[in-house]
Amino acid sequence: MRRWFKIFMLSALCICSLKADFLDIERQKALHEKKLILLTVTKESCPYCIKMQKEVFDDPKYAQQIAKKYLHVSIQRDDPALPQALHVKYFPTNLILSPDNLKIIDEFAGYMEPVGFIELLDEVYAQEFKSF
């Protein structure tokens, strides 16, 4: 019983903390600037990914709000740099990562309206940095 518990805990740790070499530069920058990392996983020709890119990430108003607290990184689901431990089923998926250890803090799957998305990002940021 104890052995299975240890295996389960080790598996859970692997899922919660990503080994992602492509994030190393962003990780260092986020630590220096006291920002979180917003990782967006998309799929080619996904209408919701395109809509979110256009309405949120390409809109200067929202992009500027995101950039104040987050380093935004976008990657395609079939990019070999994406860690295999990250099994994303719905697109787009936005993961909020800690720059300390690339631990997944929160995850939002699917298209979200810009205002609601920004509010969620602000809430997560406030919760993570409330002790500072």
Provide the pLDDT for residue 34: 94
Q: Please, which pLDDT band fits residue 20 given cuts at 50, 70 and 90?
A: low
Judge whether residue 15 has pLDDT over 50.
no
Judge whether residue 24 has pLDDT over 60.
yes
* The token pair that represents 58 in the structure block: 């390409």
Top pLDDT among 6 and 111 is at 111
Judge whether residue 85 has pLDDT over 90.
no
Is residue 37 a contact partner of residue 71, using CB atoms and an 8 Å limit? yes
Judge whether residue 21 has pLDDT over 90.
no
* Residue labelled with tokens 């990019």: 79
Q: In whole angstroms, what is the distance from residue 79 CA to residue 90 CA? A: 16
Judge whether residue 7 has pLDDT over 70.
no
**Running DSSP on this structure, what letter comes out for residue 53?**
I
Provide the pLDDT for residue 71: 97
Q: In whole angstroms, what is the distance from residue 10 CA to residue 43 CA? A: 29
Interhelix angle for 60-69 vs 114-128, to 10°? 10
| Average pLDDT of the segment spanning 62-82 | 95
**Running DSSP on this structure, what letter comes out for residue 107?**
E
Q: Please, which pLDDT band fits residue 42 given cuts at 50, 70 and 90?
A: very high
Distance between the two ends of the chain, CA-based, in angstroms? Answer: 40
CATH of the domain at 43: 3.40.30.10
Provide the pLDDT for residue 22: 80
Domain interval for residue 12:
2-128
The closest alpha carbon to 94, from 56, 41, 57, 16, belongs to 41
Number of domains in the chain: 1
